[in-house]
Amino acid sequence: MNTALAVHNVSYGYGATSILDDISFNVPKGAFYIIIGPNGSGKTTLMKIMAGSAKFKKGRVDIMGRPCSQYSRQELARTIAFVPQNIPDDFSFTVRDVVLMGRSPHQGVLGLERKEDGRILKQAMMFTGIDHLAHRAIDQLSGGERQRVFIARAICQKPRIILLDEPTAALDLAHQVRIMDLMEQLKREKGVTVVMVSHDINLAAMYGDCLLLLKKGRIVSQGRTDEVLTFETLEKAYGCLLLVDESPLGDFPRVTPVPHKLKLEI
């Protein structure tokens, strides 16, 4: 069984509003799976459903082959880790404290640190390159550094799957690439399945093994990067003119939006 996460016919909405409509897809083990789509396509809701914090009525989600309802809360916490889009910054824990909290699914009630926790902590911090910030207060860091702290925390959970909700949204170019490289490394070295929601199509194209394209709660396309990122599917999803060609950096597509003024010249 090499599916890390399988979503079967999941629908989600409240009242008359439907946010997700009959979604089904599989995330292979060890893949870098990226979900893209325009605003309001239900990406964040889908992420919350996979993380287990949004209760859906229709459909089923299997994690590592077992339905998620069969997992206890602790088990689930040791299998899936979640990195949110907005990192709260209204408290002044130190970086070390925050990363250590990632160990809580493996700890007792009071979350007291044991020797092995310290070791795992240090590894995670070195992996994400924040070791030198260990004793700084988290509310004094930059956005990119905070993001990495939360990723380090997620790594400490020792999950099989890591979910990230638009981790690069508020970051500058350098940090965007750094985070993506980090995820790539995590996947390669530790075999962790990475599922990410992204708004940046090109980053998705560069790093993703499989993509899922959503629009208004429905799947437009899913599969390999070059299958999903075609002119037709993208125009259908985004509703604007896009130029799709091959990236000069490798055999993955490059998507360029066409501004109005150039449209007339084509």
Partner 1 sequence: MPKDVPIVAKRILFVSFFLLLLLLAVCFLGVSTGSSGSGFKAVWWALMDDSRSDPITASIIWNIRFPRVILAALVGATLSLGGLVFQALLRNPLAEPYILGVSGGSAIGAIIGIMMGFSRFPGVSMTAFCGSMATLLLLLLMTCGHSKFKDSLLLSGVMVNAFAGAIIMFLMSMTQDSRLHNIMFWLMGDLSLADMRQIRILAFVLVPCFCLVFRFSHSMNLLLMGQEVAETMGVNIRLVTVTLLVTTSFMVSITVSYCGPVGFVGLVMPHLLRLVIGPDHRTLVPACIIGGGSYMVFCDILSRVLPDQGEMPAGVVTALIGAPLFIYLLKRSGR
Name the residues that contact partner 1, by CB under 8 A: 48, 51-53, 73-74, 76-77, 80-84, 86-88, 90-93, 97-98, 101-102, 104-105, 109-115, 117-119, 121-122, 150, 153, 157
Token couple for 69: 């309802």
Helix, strand, or coil (residue 225): helix
Instruction: Using the minimum distance from each CB to partner 1, give the nearer residue, 157 or 176.
Output: 157
Instruction: Using the minimum distance from each CB to partner 1, give the nearer residue, 161 or 206.
Output: 161
User: How far from chain centre, in Å, is Cα 129?
Assistant: 19
Q: Can you tell me the distance from the alpha carbon of 186 to that of 191, in angstroms, rounded to the nearest whole number?
A: 7
Output the smallest distance, CB 165 to partner 1, in A. Answer: 9
Instruction: Using the minimum distance from each CB to partner 1, give the nearer residue, 132 or 224.
Output: 132
Report the residue count for the chain: 266
**Radius of gyration (Cα) for the chain, nearest Å?**
19
Instruction: Using the minimum distance from each CB to partner 1, give the nearer residue, 51 or 242.
Output: 51
Output the smallest distance, CB 100 to partner 1, in A. Answer: 9
Output the smallest distance, CB 60 to partner 1, in A. Answer: 19
Q: Can you tell me the distance from the alpha carbon of 24 to that of 9, in angstroms, rounded to the nearest whole number?
A: 5
Q: Can you tell me the distance from the alpha carbon of 210 to that of 89, in angstroms, rounded to the nearest whole number?
A: 33
Output the smallest distance, CB 20 to partner 1, in A. Answer: 17
Instruction: Using the minimum distance from each CB to partner 1, give the nearer residue, 139 or 245.
Output: 139
Output the smallest distance, CB 181 to partner 1, in A. Answer: 23
Q: Can you tell me the distance from the alpha carbon of 32 to that of 219, in angstroms, rounded to the nearest whole number?
A: 18
- Dihedral sign computed on CA atoms, order 196, 210, 125, 140: negative
